Amino acid sequence: MSAPASGRNQSEGEAGEAGGPAMPGMAAIAAALATLPGAPGVYRMLSAEGEVLYVGKAKNLKRRVASYTQAARLGNRIRRMVMQTASLEIVTTHTEVEALLLEANLIKRLKPRFNVILRDDKSFPYILVTADHEWPQIAKHRGARNRKGSYFGPFASAGAVNRTLATLQRAFPLRSCSDADFATRTRPCLQYQIKRCTAPCVGRIDRASYGQIVADVEAFLSGESQKVQAQLSRRMEEAAAGMDFETAAIWRDRIRALAQITAHQDINVEGVGEADVIALASEGGMACVQVFFFRAGQNFGNRAYFPAHAAEVEPGEVLAAFIGQFYDARPAPRQILTSHAVTQAELLAEALAVGAGRKVEILRPQRGAKRNLVEHAQSNAREALARRLAENATQRHLLESLAGLFGLEGMPERIEVYDNSHIQGTHPVGAMIVAGPDGFVKGAYRKFHMREPEGGTGDDYAMLREMLRRRFRRMAEGGDREAPPDLILIDGGKGQLGVACEVLAELGISGVSAAAIAKGPDRNAGRERFFLPGREPFSLEPRDPVLYFLQRLRDEAHRFAIGSHRERRSRAIGGSPLDEIPGVGPKRKRALLLHFGSARAVAAAGLADLEKVEGVSREMARAIYDHFHAG
């Protein structure tokens, strides 16, 4: 049960008696202690504005929260958090494991600024061998595992999956086409011609032989590569002994393809079957976590992460926070090998085992091949961190130069760039991208689906006004959790800048600077003109690094706007008038189209004809008829 924790009033002086001088916020925490239970749970520290500052878990809520009233024992980061705390909320749980799982979930969702936060937590691609069709398909899969079949991965990137799939199809020529494409084939496709498919769609292979290929690929991806290669070698020898050299050549080519897959696994360690190697490096106020994925004894690649707010936290705590959030939405492997001792590793492993449905170990190898593997991952983390620090130094220099050029009070921490896209006013989409000292903040991008004007003629000023009002209205009302921008950059000229300034003034937004960037004569890149309130338009030298930086911002906003517009237009083109009828879902829509042949024929159908469709009741038929004949 979640509730604000409150209790007796206590002075700031009383709050600090146990551990040093009192701080602002400590009284609110001390007052809440009277009603806190001694049970496991999760607590949230809130600011006066209701912002969640910090999320923590505890085996004993009362004892854990009491530690925040001992000022002398608090680190600088937690001190700053306590000073801003105005109230406390708690959620009790049955066990500490449940509290840990809930804490990771809340941190990912709320992103409190005093927690260590995993950024860029995208889903990983897998290889899927489907089991919901009589002729299984091999394909790349990303997202929820809703489809029936065998999943192999995760892979560190889509490129790693694509390379593996291309090689697998030479060794195991399963179909990769969609079920719809498979059902409509009348002759083999190009994949069959280049020997990457056995054309089951047109009967070029029997079900037993195809099933053997499916079994082979699943065994190979499950770690039985040597067994599969031995079987293929035996089949090749048997074919050669029977003078069937064409079949023997097919088995030979598949063996070579398998050898190519295993040869391209850059790092393979004997005894590491299913494990993630997680190594941490920190320097210059930043941290990098490098993750290597090993499945079925093969290296599926690696990825670097840069957790936010990790500078003042001990390595073990950073890794604990990272692991908790990293595996919040995905099953953990059987082993997690780390570069540092992880805080509360046993509890964390127990929580991960709940999600995985089996035992999970968190180990810090001290010697041998596994230790070498961790050291290799840590070396990669240091190199990735060095590159990021160099990039950040350049980025900060550019932001400082931009602040001087635009007359800003300081280096902008958050820049928002706005653009819109439409075709003569149809399917209009506004786009906002965000950039800061760490580069583009893609998790903060926003799309605005705007109303289409009658007649389809686009009014760019009206679209910009609507987009900015929607972005800043909640901020003006105090309900927006997004940090306010230091600068908004508009793709346009003097008119667009005027609209932006009008909206900011209308909503009473202060402290946000505005500028516009317009392409020069003939829309040539390099001859852009910049517009700022109260200043004459100006241009920069074509080779000015700040000009290049601003072009990148504008081009990224344009790319995002165009992509969002195309996505909306594609959905509209692929839509159907039947989608607009309440109660007509995919099954009824399919039944109607199969019965009548087209949506136009459905619209022209009589009530009695609609009632004859399977799954359409008399009431539903009346609703469909009325939809097309109302008025």
pLDDT band at 478 (very low <50, low <70, confident <90, very high): low
What pLDDT score does 520 carry? 64
Distance (Å) of CA 495 to CA 254, 437, 460, 506, 517: 64, 29, 10, 16, 11
What is the mean pLDDT of the segment spanning 354-369? 89
SS3 of residue 547 by DSSP? helix
- What are the two backbone dihedrals, phi and then psi, of residue 169, each rounded to the nearest 5 degrees? -70, -20
Measured CA to CA, the distance from residue 622 to residue 615 in angstroms comes to 13
Asked whether the predicted pLDDT for residue 252 surpasses 50, the reply is: yes
Render pLDDT for 561-612 as a digit per residue (tens, 0 to 9).
Answer: 887 656 655 555 455 677 778 788 878 888 887 777 777 788 888 888 888 8
Asked whether the predicted pLDDT for residue 628 surpasses 50, the reply is: yes
Q: Where are the domains of the chain?
A: 2-110, 125-263, 275-386, 415-572, 577-629
DSSP string, 27-86: HHHHHHGGG--SS-EEEEEE-TT--EEEEEEESSHHHHHHGGG-GGG--HHHHHHHHH--
What is the 3-state secondary structure of 369-415?
Answer: HHHHHHHHHHHHHHHHHHHHHHHHHHHHHHHHHHHHHHCCCCCCCCE
- Burial of residue 112, with CB atoms counted within 10 A of its CB: 0-12 exposed, 13-18 middle, 19 or more buried: buried
CB 430, CB 420: distance < 8 Å:
yes
What pLDDT score does 569 carry? 58
Q: H-type helices in 264-360, by residue range?
A: 315-326, 345-356
Asked whether the predicted pLDDT for residue 278 surpasses 90, the reply is: yes
Pull the structure tokens for residue 88. 């406390």
In whole numbers, what is the pLDDT of the chain averaged over residues? 82
Asked whether the predicted pLDDT for residue 417 surpasses 90, the reply is: yes
Measured CA to CA, the distance from residue 577 to residue 294 in angstroms comes to 48
Distance (Å) of CA 384 to CA 121, 281, 420, 430: 17, 9, 35, 34
Question: Rounded to 5 degrees, what angle do the CA atoms 258, 262, 268 make?
Answer: 160
Measured CA to CA, the distance from residue 522 to residue 539 in angstroms comes to 15
Asked whether the predicted pLDDT for residue 259 surpasses 80, the reply is: no
Render pLDDT for 93-116 as a digit per residue (tens, 0 to 9).
Answer: 999 999 998 998 899 888 898 888
Render pLDDT for 520-561 as a digit per residue (tens, 0 to 9).
Answer: 655 555 678 999 998 999 988 887 888 988 988 988 888 888
pLDDT band at 277 (very low <50, low <70, confident <90, very high): very high
Chain centroid offset of residue 156 CA: 13
Can you name the CATH fold of 415-572? Nucleotidyltransferase; domain 5 (3.30.420)
Pull the structure tokens for residue 534. 């109260």
What pLDDT score does 434 carry? 92
Pull the structure tokens for residue 124. 């990983």
Is the dihedral angle over the CA atoms 64, 65, 68, 70 positive or is it negative? negative
Measured CA to CA, the distance from residue 276 to residue 274 in angstroms comes to 7
- What are the two backbone dihedrals, phi and then psi, of residue 64, each rounded to the nearest 5 degrees? -70, -45
Can you name the CATH fold of 2-110? GIY-YIG endonuclease (3.40.1440)
CB 73, CB 131: distance < 8 Å:
no
Can you name the CATH fold of 275-386? Nucleotidyltransferase; domain 5 (3.30.420)
Asked whether the predicted pLDDT for residue 368 surpasses 90, the reply is: no
248 against 523, higher pLDDT:
248
Which of 201-210 are b and which e, b meaning 16 or more Cβ less than 10 Å from the residue's Cβ?
beeebeeeeb
Which of 470, 475, 471, 466 minimizes the C-alpha distance to 508? 475
Render pLDDT for 85-94 as a digit per residue (tens, 0 to 9).
Answer: 999 999 999 9
- Which residue is associated with the tokens 């085992």? 353
Pull the structure tokens for residue 616. 């359409």
Question: Rounded to 5 degrees, what angle do the CA atoms 124, 130, 134 make?
Answer: 170
Measured CA to CA, the distance from residue 406 to residue 390 in angstroms comes to 25
Domain pair 415-572 / 577-629, same fold? no
Render pLDDT for 130-184 as a digit per residue (tens, 0 to 9).
Answer: 999 999 999 899 887 888 998 888 888 787 788 888 878 888 889 989 888 888 8
- Burial of residue 433, with CB atoms counted within 10 A of its CB: 0-12 exposed, 13-18 middle, 19 or more buried: buried
Render pLDDT for 116-135 as a digit per residue (tens, 0 to 9).
Answer: 888 765 678 888 999 999 99
What pLDDT score does 605 carry? 84
pLDDT band at 18 (very low <50, low <70, confident <90, very high): very low
Is domain 577-629 annotated with CATH 1.10.150.20? yes
